[in-house]
Chain A
Amino acid sequence: MQYAPDAPTLLSAVADFLSNDLRPAVKKADPALAFRVLIAESLCRIVAGELQSEDMLDLMELSRLQELLPDVIDGDVGRSRTERVAAIGTLNAALAARLRDDPPDPAFDALAIDHLRQALREKLMVTNPRFDAADTIE
């Protein structure tokens, strides 16, 4: 474990530097570069937020996937983050294979679509917090 500042604080500091110092300095001379500075800033902010929410979101995704596909993983997933991420990968690969190869099963497909929309909502809360996930969009 490192001394302070922690990773999200460092990433936020880099994002602030890109936005407050670098971008104004290159904006006029090189708009294409300024656009890439904006992308870099946004990536730093995404990762800073991701570090703070990933443990909780991964646990939620894992528990839904295990409920949807109870027979894929035998026994305990394990306690480390690496083990959890590997289990989510295994379960997502199994879900993809089932949706690709098995005959359509309307009851399962309806559960799968609800789970997938929730999983995507959780991804988008992190990678694009401004994304409007409402059902009322035209």
Chain B
Amino acid sequence: MDLHAIAERVAAHLTAVAGPTRVAGLEPLAGGACQDNFVVDLDIQGGPDVGDHRVVLRSDGSALLDGTLSRREEFGVINAAVAAGVRTPRARWLGRGLVQEDAWALFLDWAPGVAIGRKVLRDPDLAGARETLADELAGELARIHSIRPPSCGGADLPGLPEPAGGDAAAAAIASARRMLQTVPEPHPAMELCLRWLAQNAPPTPRLCLAHRDFRTGNFLVTAPGLSAVLDWEFSGWGAPEEDLAWISVRDWRFGNLDRPIGGFAERDPFYAAYEAASGHAVDRRVVHWWEVMGNLRWGLGCLAQLARYSSGQTRDLEMVAIGRRAAEMEYEALRLIQRGDF
């Protein structure tokens, strides 16, 4: 990747949309399987944004993962979240062809903090932050879920279709079924999960924006507490319980299995904080259903990453190694089904 050429295109784009701009630094960032991310230092010499800015340039990669938003769509979601008061870096200066030909790209304000799950859960410097994190995240979720779709009087967000009949559970079942149909090996455990999910599907009385990847590893945390919620690429119109459950999916506890909220907190205070911030009661049976669904989805996600390896799309060792991990999510989903709700 020619960093020099990217820097030149960035300077030209920002000069056109923001003001005369010099790119003082541009480095690739690790992580992000399907986007190209860079940290960029900008010197904007005129216009309303004049001054030095450290930003993240986030561009569509060569292939979009199924069911994820493009940067253009993510731009709309992030700015709706910012307008709703969600602590997430603002998205600016949407552009095209900055990194790859025709690929949409956006810029996020830089936010400090640690995202890596194990560090968030174990770094001694973040001990104080872990005390307040559940409360803070419950508030962020309430604000995310205050964003309503057009059918509930909210604004349209490009690229986000509403689920058929406003039924988020049915849409999730259909999406899991579609993914499972592409898997070459039989997965009777996933079939059993889908059977149980269909038999127990809850209604969706409050359709709202669901982040859909709201979990430890996607929050930036600093010593005083939550710095930012990141990674909106899976978001869409859905049920609030999708997010309330996803944070508890076993793999996102990073080994702290006795702390079901992201590996750092108990269920009771988190749900109570969400109820206080949102004004909506948390139905634990519905959260349990979505936690089963969450484990199924993540198991299917592991198989989708393996498929990217098997098809030759990637040669990354991590992608082929993750395939067998589907067994962990299947086991957990079946355990939750037998256990019953919380």
Q: Within 8 Å of chain A (Cβ to Cβ): is B191?
A: yes
Q: Within 8 Å of chain A (Cβ to Cβ): is B339?
A: yes
Q: Within 8 Å of chain A (Cβ to Cβ): is B30?
A: yes
A124:B334 contact, CB within 8 angstroms: no
Interface 9-mer from B134-142, B145-153, B318-326: B318-326
With A92-B186, A127-B324 as given contacts, are A120 and B334 in contact (CB-CB < 8 Å)?
yes
Instruction: Select one of B187, B321, B339 contacting A96, CB under 8 A.
Output: B187
**Cα(A119)–Cα(B192), bound, Å:** 14
With A100-B194, A138-B257 as given contacts, are A112 and B188 in contact (CB-CB < 8 Å)?
yes
Instruction: Select one of B192, B257, B324 contacting A132, CB under 8 A.
Output: B257
Q: Within 8 Å of chain B (Cβ to Cβ): is A10?
A: no
Q: Tell me which residues from 115 to 131 in chain A have a Cβ below 8 Å from any Cβ of chain B.
A: 116-117, 119-121, 123-124, 127-128, 131
CB distance from A11 to the nearest CB of B (A): 15
CB neighbours of A96 from chain B (8 A)? 186-188, 191
**Cα(A116)–Cα(B195), bound, Å:** 14
Kindly count the residue-residue contacts between A and B in the assembled complex, taking CB atoms under 8 Å apart.
86
A116:B188 contact, CB within 8 angstroms: yes
Specify the chain A residue showing the minimal Cβ separation from B329: A120
B327:A113 contact, CB within 8 angstroms: no
Instruction: Select one of A39, A99, A112, A124 contacting B328, CB under 8 A.
Output: A124
Q: Within 8 Å of chain A (Cβ to Cβ): is B2?
A: no
Q: Within 8 Å of chain A (Cβ to Cβ): is B14?
A: no
Other A-B pairs, 11, CB within 8 Å; known A32-B30, A104-B195, A124-B331: A36-B318, A39-B321, A92-B185, A92-B188, A95-B188, A99-B188, A109-B192, A112-B188, A124-B327, A128-B325, A137-B335
Shortest 7 CB-CB contacts between residues of A and residues of B? A99-B191, A96-B186, A120-B331, A95-B188, A93-B186, A96-B188, A92-B186
A-B contacts, 26 listed (Cβ < 8 Å): A32-B30, A36-B318, A39-B321, A40-B317, A42-B321, A43-B317, A92-B188, A95-B188, A100-B195, A104-B195, A109-B192, A109-B195, A112-B188, A116-B334, A120-B327, A120-B330, A120-B331, A121-B331, A128-B327, A131-B328, A133-B335, A137-B258, A138-B258, A138-B259, A138-B260, A138-B267
